[in-house]
Amino acid sequence: LMTVGVYLLKTYAGITGIETIGDRFTIEGKLPSLAMPSLEWETIKSLMQPAITIAVLGAIESLLSATVADGVIGSKHNSNQELIGQGIANVLSPLFGGIPATGAIARTMTNINNGGKTPVAGVIHAIMLLLIFVFLMPLAQYIPMSCLAGVLVVVSYNMSGWRTFRELLKNPKSDVSVLLITFLLTVIFDLTIAIEFGLVLACLLFIKRVMGVVEISSNRDEIIHSEDVTISGKEEHLSIPKDVEAYEINGPYFFGIANKFEEVMLLTKDRPKIRIIRMRKVPFIDSTGIHNLTNLCEMSRKENIQIILSGVNEEVYKALKKSGFTENLKEENICKNIHEAIKRAEVLLESYKNQKV
């Protein structure tokens, strides 16, 4: 109504002084022509950082919108399909003068509340926008800037998510600190710096938490076996032979806990002849973990201590084999479970006795 009123006043009453969109921007009701951008290495380098940030934010926003929609209509979206479709659209959009676009929670919820629950709704939405752009765009130049400012204020308020922000402040202090630092960096500097810094802080926080839950224990007496539940479903006690020490790692073997393992072994006063390292609860191992394990074997070999691995899963085994670790340790010293590891230790102890005789 405001647009129609301004149109009538400016066209027929000759009233000026009402600043509109047309006074500031050139608006044409026609489709933009295809234009290939000039690609220069300096331009690519300068745009790489903000491009990655925009891509990450766009992916997060779209997947968040899809997740919200799933919760409302009880469906399950395909994340790969969503991101591939969005990526193709954002690659083609700049060729026609467009900007990166993402899924939006506000439009998604408006769509659902009006009965749109299938991809057809998105297609109709796009067609309607195209028709408005071609046929009604000339009228948009009469929209008052004051009305546009009011719309932007309302949109900004709805998108601010201050209620969600307030709820997030009830989370653990470490998470809240990452949130507040990222928020302040966004206000003080810009979103690009804030996102990069926030991701680094979140990664460091994750590493710290993983380091806190990883446990390394040692035992020289007996093991309560629960590696593979038996048919009877009961646990059994396994006696550890003399001169054998068993260690167990609970958690990923990565750079954050590599030195922690060495510290645990240094606390052992009596040097055993055989060390069994149970890795049944190690989901993965990184290059630093492999390097640390290799150094451990070399150090143990100098002290005449044999290392036996137990319960190595397929992923960890492939990583060890690819690095050449299994060749140095020998395949017979990598056992399927703790039973085989103890039997292997007994065989080695017997061979040591025979060598002395």
* Residue 295 pLDDT: 86
Q: The domain spanning residue 272 has which CATH number?
A: 3.30.750.24
pLDDT digits (tens, 9 = 90+) for 208-253: 877 776 666 666 555 544 444 332 223 346 788 888 988 888 888 8
Say if residue 352 is in the same domain as residue 223: yes
Say if residue 146 is in the same domain as residue 178: no
Tell me the DSSP string of 236-300.
EEEEPPTTEEEEEEES-BSTTTHHHHHHHHHT--SPPSEEEEEEEE---B-HHHHHHHHHHHHHH
* Residue 321 pLDDT: 92
| 11 found inside a domain | no
Say if residue 197 is in the same domain as residue 230: no
Say if residue 221 is in the same domain as residue 341: yes
Say if residue 139 is in the same domain as residue 178: no
Q: How many whole angstroms separate alpha carbon 118 and alpha carbon 65?
A: 14
308 forms beta bridges with: 276
Residue whose pair of structure tokens reads 């060598």 in the numeric block: 355
Say if residue 84 is in the same domain as residue 171: no
* Residue 159 pLDDT: 66
Q: Which of 178, 213, 248 is the last residue of a domain?
A: 213
Domain hosting residue 66, numbered range: 20-160
| 13 found inside a domain | no
Say if residue 174 is in the same domain as residue 251: no
The length of the chain in residues reads 357
Say if residue 45 is in the same domain as residue 130: yes
Say if residue 122 is in the same domain as residue 203: no
Say if residue 196 is in the same domain as residue 239: no
State the total domains in the chain.
3
Intervals of the chain under pLDDT 70: 1-3, 7, 10-16, 27, 159, 213-237, 258, 266, 268-269, 356-357
Say if residue 75 is in the same domain as residue 96: yes
